[in-house]
A = this chain, B = another copy of it.
Amino acid sequence: MTLKSISVKDVDINGGLLGEKNELVREKVIPYQWQALNDELPNTEPSHAIENFKIAAGEAEGEFKGMVFQDSDVAKWLEAVAYQLATNPDSELEKTADEVIDLIAKAQQPDGYLNTYYIIEAPDKRWQDLEECHELYCAGHMIEAAVAYYQATGKKKLLDVVCRFADHIDQTFGPQEDKLQGYPGHQEIELALVKLYRVTDEERYLNLAKFFIDERGKEPHYFDLEWEERGKTTYWPDFRSLTEDKTYHQSDRPVREQEVAKGHAVRAVYMYSGMADIAAETGDQSLVEACERLWANTTQKQMYITGGIGSSGYGEAFSFDYDLPNDTAYAETCAAIGLMFWAHRMLHLDLDSQYADVMERALYNGVLSGMSQDGEKFFYVNPLEVWPEACEERKDKEHVKPTRQKWFGCACCPPNIARLLASIGEYIYSTDEQAAYIHLYTASVTEFEIDGTSVELDQETDYPWDENITITVNPREEVEFTLALRIPDWCESAELKVNGRTLELDSIIDNGYVEVNRSWSKGDQIELVLAMPVKRVYSNPKLRENVGKVALQRGPIIYCLEEADNGNNLPAISLPQDKELTVEYKDDLLDGVTVIKGQGYKIANSEDKLYSTTDYQKEPIKIKAVPYFAWDNRELGEMLVWLREGN
């Protein structure tokens, strides 16, 4: 069986929350980020990213400015544009994109090399600081953009550019003595090279990806050798003590020997994604095992309930098992996105709903939280508890912003969320020879071919707010295949009818997917009900931070309290275990969300003393919880996911 996701091109998300977000990306985010890349946003740190390409292309004069990896912002934006063009042709946007591609092509050096920092600032220093300077990382992003743009438009110009660049990299790196045995300090190119291999069928790209993965963590350590070689210079003096620890970039040991997720979280999940890709292509079981081990550790010991990963601000990194502080959480938006990438790949290695469950958890919570309702402000860091005053006053919380920012000096997250949401269609369906699989529920139409027959699937639902999903199957002609529907981990009671007849699910569920095998005719209808009562979720008590606390979840959505609804000092609120919680869809709130309401208690401040032997009085209060992803779209205030439980 070769399980393949149905491409973004063949999925029309025609409504619902994901539809709105997808549209937001198209209408607002992509134009907004184009302004950002061109330094046209008022009162924000200029990006200089397009200007860097102009200078490198000889169209402008000046110095390189911005992060050493600034090129990647342009690449990620182009990739987002490509996914949009795939589903929503837009000649003006395509023209802009083509012009950017022309510019990129013009910046490319005769030998194929392409990186504006080195072209402008240090042409003689290429490939001397792989550890710190992101050349291979930027190359990876440009390759991903090129593949997406080619797939969306059929245009090959950027694909040719990156093939020349990849060939140059292939001539530079490899096991041969006259090549460098290096690998990236920030992983990303591995998964990109697999994509390039898939679209070009050139095995050398797959082999290069494999080389980078296999070489990683060998001794003598490449980063030590190049450090000596280049005269012990550092691009990031302030971070040297951090990056010296080789777990930071997961190169402390060969990848197959890595037992737990460590170091910079985005680097980690990009690498794991690349490992899964290579395993999928080569069948390398040792990589599969490493991925499974790291997956279990990441998702069962180091993941926030929101799908956020990387709890440590220092190093934007994983901490250690069960260390998931809420108020100093890092949980970078990019890391949750990377977790989705990885989950999607694991799902295609081994069809098990646990992967789709995590993918969905990250999407609706730790990823969507990264962008404001208006698409113009972003969280880099996604805490689960915010006291704005503490973010301002406390050094150990300085990475936690209590409100989304318009742009960042290091702006990796905004274009990452744009490309993820623009490509979200790709995460919904997969097919293999005998079956079609629905991983995510969202209003959408797709078309695929099975056993030579074209089949349209029409998914109607207001998921994640509504528990009812209706799927109409429209094959060109009657055809037998299995339609497999994921039953999410949060759902304890699912009901499925086919053409009005209820199926007994227990006997047809496999790895979390209900498999309906039949001969399908035009107009066959599946009604799936994924019961969505409000759930009280508890942490494993080893996660000390959350002991005695409860989080609220409905469907895939994790909820939070905001000061706007519940007053200040949210930690003084407790939720009794026995009181009913009700839900209400509020059309006029936060672009339309379902809220959870209930009765809680708040400790009243009866006296001014700091310590007292009198227990403080509790007063009953009404509490209102909103989806976590939608927090901070009103006035600045406190936010809390994990509530104290008790009377």
Interface pair B608/A300, CB less than 8 Å apart: yes
Q: How far is the CA of A604 from the CA of B538 in the complex (A)?
A: 12
Interface pair B571/A396, CB less than 8 Å apart: no
Interface pair A319/B394, CB less than 8 Å apart: yes
Residue A614 is within 8 A (CB to CB) of chain B in the complex = yes
Q: Mask for A461-478, Cβ within 8 A of B = 1, else 0?
A: 000000000000000000
**Interface core residue of A395, A490, A611 (most chain B CB under 10 Å):** A611
Interface pair A540/B323, CB less than 8 Å apart: no
Binds B, one of A414-422, A439-447, A501-509, A543-551: A543-551
Residue A537 is within 8 A (CB to CB) of chain B in the complex = yes
Q: Which residue of B lies closest to A314 (CB)?
A: B395
Interface pair A547/B571, CB less than 8 Å apart: yes
CB distance from A217 to the nearest CB of B (A): 21
Q: Write out the residue numbers on chain B whose beta carbons fall within 8 Å of the beta carbon of A401.
A: none
Q: How far is the CA of A319 from the CA of B391 in the complex (A)?
A: 11
Instruction: Tell me the A360-399 residues at the B interface (CB within 8 Å).
Output: 387, 389-390, 393-396
Residue A95 is within 8 A (CB to CB) of chain B in the complex = no
Residue A89 is within 8 A (CB to CB) of chain B in the complex = no
Q: Which residue of B lies closest to A646 (CB)?
A: B646
A547 in contact with B314 given A300-B608, A300-B610, A394-B323 (CB within 8 Å): no
Q: Write out the residue numbers on chain B whose beta carbons fall within 8 Å of the beta carbon of A33.
A: none
Count residues on chain A whose CB falls below 8 Å from chain B CBs.
56
Residue A275 is within 8 A (CB to CB) of chain B in the complex = no
Out of B299, B312, B547, B615, name the residue touching A572 (CB < 8 Å). B547
Q: How far is the CA of A327 from the CA of B394 in the complex (A)?
A: 14
Interface pair B616/A541, CB less than 8 Å apart: yes
Instruction: Tell me the A578-637 residues at the B interface (CB within 8 Å).
Output: 603-605, 607-616
Q: How far is the CA of A541 from the CA of B610 in the complex (A)?
A: 9
Q: Mask for A290-315, Cβ within 8 A of B = 1, else 0?
A: 00000000011101010000001111
Interface pair A323/B390, CB less than 8 Å apart: yes
Interface pair B613/A535, CB less than 8 Å apart: yes
Residue A118 is within 8 A (CB to CB) of chain B in the complex = no
Residue A408 is within 8 A (CB to CB) of chain B in the complex = no
Out of B300, B315, B644, name the residue touching A548 (CB < 8 Å). B644
Q: How far is the CA of A389 from the CA of B301 in the complex (A)?
A: 15
Q: How far is the CA of A545 from the CA of B314 in the complex (A)?
A: 22
Q: Write out the residue numbers on chain B whose beta carbons fall within 8 Å of the beta carbon of A545.
A: 571
Interface pair B540/A303, CB less than 8 Å apart: no
Interface pair B603/A541, CB less than 8 Å apart: yes
CB distance from A298 to the nearest CB of B (A): 10
Residue A536 is within 8 A (CB to CB) of chain B in the complex = yes
Q: Write out the residue numbers on chain B whose beta carbons fall within 8 Å of the beta carbon of A312.
A: 394-396
Q: How far is the CA of A530 from the CA of B611 in the complex (A)?
A: 20
Residue A542 is within 8 A (CB to CB) of chain B in the complex = yes
CB distance from A559 to the nearest CB of B (A): 14
Q: How far is the CA of A545 from the CA of B644 in the complex (A)?
A: 12
Residue A577 is within 8 A (CB to CB) of chain B in the complex = yes
Q: Write out the residue numbers on chain B whose beta carbons fall within 8 Å of the beta carbon of A609.
A: 300, 540
Out of B300, B577, B612, name the residue touching A537 (CB < 8 Å). B612
A301 in contact with B540 given A395-B312, A396-B396 (CB within 8 Å): no
Q: How far is the CA of A542 from the CA of B572 in the complex (A)?
A: 8
Residue A574 is within 8 A (CB to CB) of chain B in the complex = yes
CB distance from A513 to the nearest CB of B (A): 20
Q: Write out the residue numbers on chain B whose beta carbons fall within 8 Å of the beta carbon of A320.
A: 389-390, 393
Residue A207 is within 8 A (CB to CB) of chain B in the complex = no
Q: Write out the residue numbers on chain B whose beta carbons fall within 8 Å of the beta carbon of A492.
A: 613
Interface pair B540/A615, CB less than 8 Å apart: no
Residue A539 is within 8 A (CB to CB) of chain B in the complex = yes
A540 in contact with B605 given A394-B319, A548-B548, A615-B577 (CB within 8 Å): yes
Out of B394, B538, B611, B615, name the residue touching A616 (CB < 8 Å). B538
Q: Mask for A307-336, Cβ within 8 A of B = 1, else 0?
A: 000001111000110010000100000000
Q: How far is the CA of A572 from the CA of B395 in the complex (A)?
A: 28
Q: Write out the residue numbers on chain B whose beta carbons fall within 8 Å of the beta carbon of A646.
A: 548, 646
Going nearest first, the 4 A-B pairs with the smallest beta carbon separation are A314-B395, A544-B571, A541-B603, A396-B396
| A301-B610, A541-B569, A541-B604 given; 11 more Cβ-contact pairs under 8 Å | A305-B611, A313-B395, A319-B393, A320-B390, A323-B393, A492-B613, A538-B611, A542-B569, A544-B569, A544-B571, A547-B603
